[in-house]
Amino acid sequence: MKAVVRHRLFWPAVMLVVLLIGNTFYSPSFLKVTLRDGHFYGSLVDILRSATPLALVALGMTVVIATAGIDLSVGSVMAISGATACLWISELGDQNAVGGVLVAVALALLLSLVLGVWNGFLVAAIGIQPIIATLILMVAGRGIAQLITGGQIITVNSSPYKVIGAGYALAIPVSVIIVAVFVAVAAVLVRRSALGLLVESVGGNPTASRLAGIKSARYIWIAYVFAGLCAGIAGLIFSSNVSSADGNNAGNLIELDAILAVVIGGTALTGGRFSIAGSILGAVVIKTLDITIYTVGVPTSSTLLFKAIVVIALCLAQSPAFRAKFARRRSAAEATA
């Protein structure tokens, strides 16, 4: 029992269960999943579907944070990726041509990789603090995304493109399948090879790992490229779901949700220890919270405040200094009692 409570995923799982139970009180049919027209329907499916971009971004963010870094540019990369794909498709003679859509997707992903390489270059090769390095792309990236879309919202009408974000395969949303496969591959790569261990050692103590003969710069670089790719795919899912690209608002403030998901999942923001499953669970918790706020009827404007308080509380709970002070006070109270 103690082992269960102590488990890293215990508290996020409890949060999720509490939220789900709370929702069933407000709408009894909340947990019902029905099969209609060969698709699964229901609030649970909606939560999973809407959580896919965030889960991907959080996955990339987890690896970056594990190297003791942070990537603030994920929202901008999402916007650029969606804008590139939509621009390419809108110029096609036949927007429904599968080949053309594939080229658009490949282009968008290639560009996200390049942006990830750029972030990695600034952090690993030049040695700029991650927060500043990615701040550059966060701001300039929004400009680039608007440059691509010409300041307009590009709308496309392409059924192959729409499959990515809004389609179904085997009654399950395609976006959920994409994310599940991607997460599974990443988890296997990280946990069944030395990659995860090396990333954790770089984040835990860069000097010690360098002295141990680990090429820190290489793993930091890989982390940012991976985060770029994740954000790129997330951008495609997001823009495909709405069949349009908005350079200004796509992925706006998603870096907050991603950081929140990572923290909820039990990854320390100071680097060194990470949990992919935790971050994915964190992303689902956040989306469930968003939907709960809709169902319960709390004004949506208070969402940001609530999330901020959760971030602050979790940061303090993670801080060793805070824990030490708290523990000392408690043991002192026990001694006097």
Partner 1 sequence: MIDVGTPGTATAVARVPLSKKRPQKRHIPVLATAALFGLMYLVGVVSYPGFSDTQILLNIFIDNAFLLVVAVGMTFVILTGGIDLSVGAVVALTTMISAVLLRENWPAGAVLPLVLLVGTLLGLAMGCIIHFFEVPPFIATLAGMFLARGLCFVISDASIPITNSTWTGIADVRIWFGGFRITISVVIALVVLLIGAFVLAYTRFGRNVYALGGNQQSAMLMGLPVARTRVAVYTISGFCSALGGVLVSFYMSSGNSLHAQGMELDAIAAVVIGGTVLAGGSGYVFGTVLGVLVLGVIQTLITYADLNSWWTRIFIGALLFAFILLQRVVNRRT
CB of 84 to partner 1, least distance (A): 15
Place of tokens 């009894």: 28
Binding residue (CB under 8 A) for partner 1 from 129, 152, 155, 249: 129
CB of 119 to partner 1, least distance (A): 12
Residues 6+ apart with CB under 8 A from 304: 256
- Residue span binding partner 1 (CB under 8 A) among the ranges 41-49, 157-165, 275-283, 296-304: 296-304
Report the candidate in 234, 198, 243, 203 with the shortest Cα–Cα distance to residue 95: 243
Q: Would you say 26 or 306 has its CB closer to partner 1?
A: 306
Between 257 and 286, how does the x/- string for binding to partner 1 read (CB under 8 A)? Answer: --x---------xx----------------
Binding residue (CB under 8 A) for partner 1 from 308, 329, 330, 332: 308
Tell me, what amino acid is at 12?
Answer: P
CB of 211 to partner 1, least distance (A): 21
For residue 297, how many other CB atoms are within 10 A of its CB? 8
Q: Would you say 95 or 205 has its CB closer to partner 1?
A: 205
**142 scored as a contact of partner 1 (CB under 8 A):** yes
d(CA 147, CA 149): 6
CB of 224 to partner 1, least distance (A): 15
> Which residues are bridge partners to 172 per DSSP?
169
Residues 6+ apart with CB under 8 A from 113: 225, 228, 229, 232
User: How many positions of this chain bind partner 1 (CB under 8 A)?
Assistant: 44
d(CA 217, CA 213): 12
Binding residue (CB under 8 A) for partner 1 from 152, 159, 193, 302: 302
**135 scored as a contact of partner 1 (CB under 8 A):** yes
Place of tokens 């990537």: 71
Between 34 and 73, how does the x/- string for binding to partner 1 read (CB under 8 A)? Answer: ------------------------------------x---
Place of tokens 């996020």: 12
Contact 8, 279 (CB under 8 A): no
Binding residue (CB under 8 A) for partner 1 from 38, 93, 213, 320: 320
d(CA 271, CA 294): 34
> Tokens for 85?
């794909």
> Which residues are bridge partners to 35 per DSSP?
40
Report the candidate in 118, 16, 130 with the shortest Cα–Cα distance to residue 63: 130
> Tokens for 41?
């329907």
Q: Would you say 152 or 159 has its CB closer to partner 1?
A: 152
- Residue span binding partner 1 (CB under 8 A) among the ranges 7-15, 54-62, 145-153, 220-228: 145-153
**137 scored as a contact of partner 1 (CB under 8 A):** yes
**9 scored as a contact of partner 1 (CB under 8 A):** no
d(CA 329, CA 185): 45
Q: How far is CA 260 from the centre of its chain?
A: 9
- Residue span binding partner 1 (CB under 8 A) among the ranges 153-161, 191-199, 237-245, 321-329: 321-329
**151 scored as a contact of partner 1 (CB under 8 A):** yes
List of residues contacting partner 1 (CB under 8 A): 70, 122, 126-129, 131-132, 135-144, 146-147, 151, 247, 256, 259, 269-270, 301-309, 311-312, 315-316, 319-322, 325
